[in-house]
Chain A
Amino acid sequence: MSSDEDEWVPFSRRPEWSDVKPVPQDDGPHPVVPIAYRADFRETMDYFRAVYLSGERSHRALNLTAEAISMNPGNYTVWYFRRLVLEAVDADLNDEMEYINCVASKNSKNYQIWHHKRWLAEKLGPEVAQKELEFTKRIFAIDAKNYHAWSHRQWVLDALGGWQNELDYCTELLEDDIFNNSAWNQRYFVITRSPLLGGLQSMRESEVSYAVEAILSNPENESPWRYLRGLYKGDPNLLICNNQISGVCLQVLKTKHNIIFPLSLLLELLCHGFQPSTEFVSAVEALRTSVPESSSTSSLANTICSVLEIVDPIRSNYWSWRRSHLPSQVC
């Protein structure tokens, strides 16, 4: 399996391949856009085509696929053939997992590689759950939002288990970067799906506190604001009753900075029947000094939309749409 370019020996000079006739790529008589393949790539693929077409499932074919993969890990037919060979030669799948981890570390955004890993993990079963979780951790250390690695991690948890430390892991990632939306998404995945935590309702109270704390440290962070709403998905009556939630809106609004998300959440609360105290009214009033044409008779929800139109100009159409579609009770 020599992939080092300095040592690369052409297949035509390898005695163990002397019985194979390479099959060149058929681009037709007049190729429209011929690709200038490198000589080693072309030759490797010519030999790959030969074994693929003859259906040779042997150890040398396995090594050949590794060479082809090292040159182009996106060739899904090479991967497909590799799996057929692995099955046919009864290969040690733990060795294969070590190999694929090596390839995946260098190509962490390649669909084929992650799919191959999943195929292996599925065959190896729950005993590899921890190792797989550890592997994705290593990927997240480099790219904490890698979508493939997150998909793989969620699949491992669902299919093979290993939920024990998952919430702590989310906390750890969010300590590194509180803006990491992937980690917030995973947190929601854990509290709604982990068989060990009792589900959304039993986690709600502690998670509200967690999100509120995150908001207070960085009120401009979109993720925890959305997370708060997610905690009460389908339960708006409970959302408006939780003083911690209206409270965090008020607290941020009083600072007069980063007011887009608290105003938006307050608007949501009002639309669901939240009765604002005078403190909310004055906090919002204090923001409208810069809004020239708002009249003192307009409703709180209306004022909120007007303020948002000014402070979030790129989405002013959205906020003016919200204003014109307010439920009648808050107009």
Chain B
Amino acid sequence: MGYCKPYGIKFISWTIVGGFAGTIGLDPHLLYTLSAVQILALLNRLDVLDIEMISEYVAGLQNEDGSFSGDMWGEIDTRFSYCAICCLSILHCLDKINVGKAVNYILSCKNLDGGFGATPGGESHAGQIFCCVGTLSITGSLHHVDRDLLGWWLCERQCPDGGLNGRPEKLADVCYSWWVLSSLIMIDRVHWIDKSKLTEYILNCQDSENGGISDRPDNAVDVFHTYFGVAGLSLMEYPGLKPIDPAYALPVDVVNRIFFSKF
């Protein structure tokens, strides 16, 4: 979906129904619609969007039970609730959906360990927890979270090597530095993990010769894990990095520009 330079905007592909696709010629999907909106927010070019049309597209994917489908084919997942709500919030259009029902759907996915899954009854997974806690954070509904129980489950994700895993008995992976840490920050429990050991883990996943960050030490680097590693370091206030907002996954100055600048 394009790339991050101002003149890359023309490469962002959008479709007649208002949503964005992964690339030119594909069908629209909530995942790419949020990415497109986030990228334009980063570039301070939300003005190129037809906000009315996009917000109608996103709002149209809400189901009767409050959940969201990813596209017209109806796959339902709490990831899509996050995509929809984050996107509409950035566009100042949350009034177009039933926020109460959306929150209730998220709460129906809460588990015995305080975490959240993809659908009601689905196993708690740190990635899904980010989506659910992020949705609750954006909608001002964090009071529904059992912060101490969830916080403990999240800090139990720190492995002896310092890295974080996404579910019990799984290996640590740099991407969870983002999913777990951002969730812990949103529920105000990030001081429960050992930050210096996690920082060390992320830095150990760097390719010190060619750059980039991998999922775990000595693996091949990729752009996703590089993002998650840098974002995780930013959440831990690593020197030289801009602060990142844990709910919107955008730099704090961008979020401030979206919500506090005059139009």
Contact = CB atoms under 8 A, between A and B. Distances in A.
A and B from one complex? yes
A63 interface: no
Interface of B: 3, 8, 10-11, 21-22, 24-27, 29, 71, 73, 75, 111-113, 117-119, 121-125, 151-153, 155-156, 158, 160, 162, 167-170, 191-194, 197
Nearest to B192: A318
B11 to A, nearest CB: 7
5 contacts: A77-B25, A80-B73, A151-B122, A227-B112, A318-B152
Contacts of B192: 315, 317-318, 321
A77 B22 CA distance: 10
A75 B122 contact: no
A233 B110 CA distance: 12
A281 to B, nearest CB: 24
Contacts of B151: 318
Contacts of A151: 118-119, 122
A315 B121 contact: no
A169 B19 CA distance: 42
Interface in A137-186: 145, 147, 150-151, 154-155, 158, 179-182, 185-186
B112 A229 contact: yes
Contact of B24 (A26, A229, A315): A26
A111 B29 CA distance: 13
Given A147-B118, A233-B112, A314-B162, 11 more contacts: A25-B24, A28-B10, A77-B21, A77-B27, A119-B73, A179-B168, A185-B117, A230-B113, A315-B155, A315-B192, A315-B193
Nearest to A147: B125
- Of residues A118, A154, A158, A316, which shows the largest number of chain B Cβ atoms within 10 Å of its Cβ? A154
Contacts of B169: 179-181, 222-223
Contacts of A109: none
Contacts of A119: 73
A115 B168 contact: no
A77 B123 contact: no
A75 to B, nearest CB: 7
Contacts of A227: 112
B112 A189 contact: no
A77 B13 CA distance: 14
- Of residues A230, A233, A314, which shows the largest number of chain B Cβ atoms within 10 Å of its Cβ? A314
A145 B156 contact: no
A182 B113 CA distance: 13
B160 to A, nearest CB: 7
Given A25-B25, A185-B111, A223-B168, A147 B123 contact: yes
A313 B151 CA distance: 16
Contacts of B155: 315, 318
A222 B168 contact: yes
Nearest to B22: A76
A180 to B, nearest CB: 7
Given A315-B192, A318-B152, A28 B11 contact: yes
Contacts of A28: 10-11
A32 interface: yes
A33 interface: yes
A321 B158 CA distance: 17
B168 A32 contact: no
A57 interface: no
- Of residues A25, A26, A226, which shows the largest number of chain B Cβ atoms within 10 Å of its Cβ? A226
